[in-house]
Chains A and B, each alone.
Chain A
Amino acid sequence: MIKRLLGCVREYKKDSILAPLFVTMEVLLEVLIPFLMAKMVDFGINGNGGQGDFPYIVKMGILLIILCVLSLLFGVLAGKSAAIASAGFAKNLRKDMFHNVQNFSFSNIDKFSASSIVTRLTTDVTHLQNAYQMIIRVAVRSPMMLIFSLVMAFTVKADLALIFLAAVPVLAIGLYFIMTHAHPIFERVFKTYDKLNNVVQENLRGIRVVKAFVREDYEKKKFTGVAESIYSDFTKAERLLAWNAPLMQFCMYGCMLFISWVGANLIVSGSMSTGDLMGIMTYIMQILSSLMMLSMIFVMITISKASAQRTVEILNETSDIVNKKEPVSTVKDGSIIFRDVNFSYAGDSGKLCLTDIDLAINSGETVGILGGTGSSKTTLVQLIPRLYDVTSGEVLVGGVNVKEYDLDTLRNQVAMVLQKNVLFSGTIKENLRWGNETATDEELKRACELAQADGFISQFPHGYDTYIEQGGTNVSGGQKQRLCIARALLKKPKILILDDSTSAVDTHTDALIRKAFLEEIPDTTKIIIAQRISSIMEADKIIVLDDGKITGIGTHESLLRTNEIYCDIFLSQTKGGLSDVAK
C-alpha cells in the first residue's frame, strides 16, 4: 500500500528528501543552542572566577546568533521543500487516480459508486497530502529532536540525564494507555456520527413524509437517542485524553524537582556547573515535548491509514475490459448477433440477469425492446458497445466478436443514449460536440433537427450558445433527452441505441423522431427500449424480455397473437379504447 502511494512522489523526490534533511539540520542547530548557552553561563557570566568574561560572552553570543540565523534558514527551506513535495505528491496522486478512473469499465464504476469515487478523489487525497507533509517535516523533527536532545543531555551530564530513563517510560506507557483506550471509542464515535448525519439527511429528504405523518416527535426521539450516545462516547474518549496534559506535566515537574535536588548537590559538591543545570533543564523540556508530539503524529497517521487504503483501492483497480493486442479497427456494418449469451453483474458466480439470449439483427433494422422494470432490457443493450463483457456466449457486431474490436472504434460506431443521461456544464454546442469534436455548425443543426431539438434550441435567446448548467438543470426533461439523442447522432454511428430516451418526450414528437430516423438514417441499426408501446410498435422486430429471458421476437401483429406478456402490456396501455397508444 505504502509502496503504491510512494509511486506518486516521482518528480518531487528531490524535495521529499531535502525537506527532512533541512529539518534535521534545523533540529541539530536548535539542540546546540542550549549547549552553547550553558557554556556561556559557565565561562562567560560565571567565568573569570565569578567576575564574568565579557569578550567570551560576545564571542559565544555571535556564535549563537549565527546558529539561530542558520537554523531559521534551514527551517524556511524545509518548509518550502515540504510544501512543494506535498502539493506535488497530492497532484500526482489525484492525477493517477483520475486517470485510472477514466480507464474504469462500467462494472468498475458500479463497484465503487460515483459518490464514493468523488470522496476518495477529494477528501481522502487532502488527508493524505496533510499526512505526507507531516511525515516529511514533523515526523522527522520530533524523533530527531528526541535523539539529539538525549545525546546532548548525556554529553552535558550523563548521570543526571539518566532521569530520562525513569521519565520517558512513564510518559510513553501513559500515552500508550490513553491512546489505545481512547482510539476504539473514537472509532465508535465516528460511526455514531454517521448515524446522526443519516438521521438528519433522511429527515431533510423526507421532511414532507415526516410532516405528513406527523412524526416530528418520533424523529426527535430518534435523533436525541443518537445525540445522547455521541455525547456519552465522546465524553468518555475525551475524558481519557484529558489525562494527556497532566501526565506530561507530572513527568516534567517530576524531572525538574529531581534535577534541582540532585543538580544542586552535584554543583555544591563541585562535579557540575550551573550552566550545565540550565542546559539540562532545557533538554528535558525538549525531550518530553517531542515525545508528546510523537504520540500525536502516531494518532494522525492511524487516521490517515483509512484514507490511504481507500485511495489505493482506486489506484489498484484495473479495468476488466481492455483492448486486444491487435484489435480490429473498422466496423463493417450494423448487424448484431447474440449467441447463447448469459450475463451476470457479479461474474461467473452471480445471479444471471440474462439467460440464453440468441438474437440476430440485420444492419439498418429498427428493433424495439419491451419488458417490465427489472427485465434486463438495459443490460442487454449494454453488451453491444461492450460496456460489460458477457459471462458466457458471444456478441458480434458487423460479424466480428465485440472483444476483437478496438474499444474506441466500437463505441464510436455504436452510439448509445443512456437512460440516466447527463449533460455537462457548457454551451449546447460544446455538449453536442462530444459526439464529434470537428462537427460544423450545419452538422450540429442537422443532428438537432433529426432529434427534434432544433425547434426549441433556436427559441432560446442564445440559441446553440445557450449555457447548460451542471446536470442540465436549466432544460426540461424532454429537451434534455432530445439533446442527448442529437449528441449521439453526431457520431454518425452504424448502430444507435436509445435506452428509454424519449420517456419525457410527448408521443407526437416521439413519433417525429422515429420518422426522421427512418427517413434520414435508414442504414443505421436502431435499437429502441421503451415503456410506451406506441414508441416501438412499428419496428421491424420487437423483442419482449421478461426476467432476463427473451419470451418473444416478432412484429407487433405476430406478438399480439402469440405473446401473452406483450398482450398484457398492450392492453394495460390501451385500456378504455384509444389511450396513450392512439396516434
Chain B
Amino acid sequence: MSQNRVPQKFNPNRFAPQGKPDMKTAKRLFSYIFKDYKFSFFLVCLLIIVSTVANVASSMFLGTLIDDYITPLLQMEHPVFTGLMKALALMAVIYLSGIFSTLFYNRIMVRISQGVLKDIRNDMFSHMQKLPVKYFDTHTHGDVMSHYTNDTDTLRQMIGQSLPQMFSSIITIISVVVAMFATSLYLTLFTLIFVFVMLRVTGAVAKNSGKYFGKQQQALGDVNGYIEEMINGQKVIKVFCHENVTKEEFDQKNETLCENMTNANKFANILGPINNNLGHLQYALLAILGGAMAIGGVGGLTLGNIATFLQLSKSFNMPINQVSQQINMVVMALAGAKRIFELLDEEVEDDHGYVSLVNATYENGILTEADKRTGLWAWKHPHSDGTTTYTELKGEVVFDDVDFGYTEEKIVLHNISLYANPGEKIAFVGSTGAGKTTITNLINRFYDLADGKVRYDGININKIKKSDLRRSLGIVLQDTNLFTGTVMENIRYGKLDATDEEVIAAAKLANAHGFITRLPQGYDTPLTNNGESLSQGQRQLIAIARAAVLDPPVMILDEATSSIDTRTESLVQKGMDSLMKGRTVFVIAHRLSTIQNSDVIMVLEQGRIIERGSHEKLLEEKGKYYQLYTGSVELE
C-alpha cells in the first residue's frame, strides 16, 4: 500500500472562492451550536448588540458634546459644567457596559467555538472508527486528514471570529444608518451613493484579484508538486548527475509562479489602500458638502451634526468591508463543514450480529457461561425461541461457494470453497491481485460477501458480532503498523490487560525478545512514526508478538515475514512454528519455502482456486505450483 506514504497532495482548488453559502450545511452547523450552547449563544448575541450600540453611541457623542454642551457653554457668561459632567458620567456608564459586553461575549464565544470544534472532532473520529475498511480504500489519507486540519481550522475561524464579527458589523450598519438618517437625510443619501460606488470599484478589483489568484494557486500547485517529486527522487538525481537539468526546469516553473503571484498580490494589495482612501475621500466630500449646507442653512445642519456625521461615516465603511470579507470566510468554512458532514454521513459498518463470544467452563460436561477468564471460550447463540446455546470456540472455518467484489460490477473472487479444520495450516499462493488477501479479509469481515457463506465453528459469520469475531482472530498484516508508544505498549495492543510477563512471553514466542532487550531502553523504548527507528524485519517481529499475545484460535499471517531476510527468517521460523501450533492458520507468503509444511496449499489465479493440495501432491501434479516452485514463472 504505497499510497500510505505519499504525502498529502496539494489541491489548488481547496481555497478557491466557492460561490454562495450553503444553507443546509449552515443549518446543520448551527444545530451543533444550539445543542449545548443555546443559552450562551443568545447571550452572546445580546452582548454584541450592547457592545455595538455603545460603539455607535461614542460616534454620536461628539456631536452632542459640541451642540448641546460646548456651543451653549460658549455663550454663557459663567459657564456651568455640571450638565456636561452628568453627560460624561452617562457616557462612561454606556462605555463601561460596552467594554464589559465585549469582554464577556468574546470569552463566551471562545467556549462555544472550541466546544463545538471539540464535539465535531470527537464525532468525526468516533464515526471514522465505525466506517468500513472500504471507505479507507477509496479515500486518500491526505483527504481524510484535511478534515481534521484545514476544514476544522476554517470552522474555528468562522465560529470564533467571522460569525460574531459579521453579526456586530450588521448591527453596526443598521444602527449607523438609523443614526445617520436621524442626523441628516441629505448627507445620508450622499453617503449611501458613495458607498455603492465604492463597493462597485472594490468588487471590480477583487474580481481581477480572484482571477489571478486562481492562476497563482495553479502555478503554486505545479511548483510544489515538482518540488515534492524531485526531492523524493533526490538520490536518483544525484546518481544520474541530473542536478543541472532539474535546476533549469525548476527555475522555469518558479519564474511562472513568481509572475502569477505578483499579479495576484498586486490586486489584493491595492484593495486596502483603495478602500481606505476612498473612505478619506468620502470623509472630505462630506465635510465640504456638510459645511456648505451648514453655512447655507440647508437641512438645518449644525456643526455638531457634521462632526457626528463624519464620525458615523467612518464607522460605516469599516463594517461594510468587513461583511464582504467575512462572507468569503463563511463560504469557505461552510465548504469545509460540508466536507466534514460528508464524512459524518458516511455509512458505518453494519453489524447485525447477535452471537457473542463469552468465557466458558464445562460444568458436568455441559458448556456454560463463566463470569471470569477461564481460557475457554464459547459462542453464545441466542435463538428466536428464547433459548440460548453455547458452542465451543475451536477455530473451524468453512467457505461455501463464496463470491466477492469490491464493487458490485467487478467480482474478484469466484466460487471459493474451502474447509479448515481446527489446528490446520492453510496457505494461499498466487500473484498480486489474485485475491489472497481478499479471502482473509472476508474471514474477519473487513468486507462483506457478495454471495455464498462463511462459517466459523459452524456459525454463519454474519450472525457473529463483528467485534467478537475479530477478537477471536489474530492478524499479522503485510504492512506493519505500529503506534506511538513503547514497545511494550505496542505488543500489549493485542490484549490490553496482558501483564508484562505475558507480553514478554509473546515476544519470546515471536523471537522478538532478543532484539528488544538489545534496544537502548528494552521494552520501554519509545516508538514513533510507525517505529521508524526499527528495521522492517524488527517491526514485523513486533507485529507477530502483538498477535501472539492475543492468543487467538485462528491466525491470519499475510506476508508476515516478507521483509525478513531468509537467514533471519529461518531463525524466526521456529518461533512462527510454535506460534502456529494448535491454531487454525491462514498463511499468505511470497517465499514458497515458508509454506511447504502447510496442510493445504491453495493456488489462486484471478480470484479462483486453481490448484489445491499438499506440497508433495501439487509438485506431482506439475501444474502452476510446480512452475512457481521451480522459478519458471513470475510471481508478483
Contact = CB atoms under 8 A, between A and B. Distances in A.
Contact of A211 (B234, B236, B246, B470): B470
Contacts, number: 440
Interface in B569-592: 569-570, 591-592
A210 B629 contact: no
A257 B265 contact: no
A261 B251 CA distance: 64
B535 interface: yes
Contact of B239 (A76, A234, A418, A471): A418
A14 interface: no
Contact of A208 (B234, B251, B477): B477
Contacts of B270: 75-76, 79-80
B224 interface: yes
Interface string B125-151: 110111001001000010011001100
B185 interface: no
Given A250-B99, A473-B2, A568-B567, A238 B110 contact: yes
Given A115-B7, A416-B239, A215 B493 contact: yes
Contact of B61 (A208, A260, A274, A505): A260
A411 to B, nearest CB: 5
Interface stretch (B13-21, B288-296, B448-456, B503-511): B288-296
B564 interface: yes
Contact of A531 (B133, B244, B565): B565
Interface stretch (B111-119, B328-336, B362-370, B602-610): B111-119
Contact of B129 (A87, A137, A210, A408): A210
Interface in B466-499: 466-467, 470-471, 473, 475, 477, 481-484, 493-494, 496
A94 interface: yes
Contact of B2 (A117, A137, A200, A471): A471
Interface residues of A, number: 161
Q: Which 10 A-B pairs have the closest CB atoms?
A: A75-B273, A79-B269, A52-B295, A206-B481, A506-B634, A507-B631, A242-B106, A83-B265, A61-B288, A72-B277
A471 B6 contact: yes
Nearest to B596: A576
A83 B262 contact: yes
B533 interface: no
Nearest to A505: B634
Contacts of A411: 238-241
Among B118, B233, B277, chain A packs the most CB atoms within 10 A around the CB of B277
A447 to B, nearest CB: 14
A298 interface: no
A54 B295 CA distance: 7
21 contacts: A40-B287, A52-B295, A54-B295, A61-B284, A75-B274, A83-B263, A90-B258, A114-B232, A129-B261, A200-B125, A201-B141, A202-B481, A204-B141, A220-B129, A227-B118, A235-B114, A239-B107, A265-B81, A281-B311, A473-B2, A576-B596
Contacts of A355: none
B228 A83 contact: no
B115 A231 contact: yes
Contacts of A211: 133, 444, 446, 470
A223 B229 contact: no
Contacts of B145: 197, 200-201, 204
Interface string A219-259: 11001100110110011001101110110011011001100
Interface stretch (A63-71, A305-313, A344-352): A63-71
A33 interface: yes
B535 A197 contact: no
Given A41-B303, A88-B262, A422 B233 contact: yes
A71 B280 contact: yes
Interface in A489-547: 491, 504-509, 531, 534
A65 B281 contact: yes
A84 B236 contact: no
Contact of B284 (A68, A118, A408): A68
Contacts of B630: 578, 582-583
Interface stretch (B28-36, B64-72, B380-388, B518-526): B64-72
A121 B246 CA distance: 15
A278 B307 contact: yes
Nearest to A209: B481
Contacts of A424: 229-230, 233
A554 interface: no
A427 B619 CA distance: 42
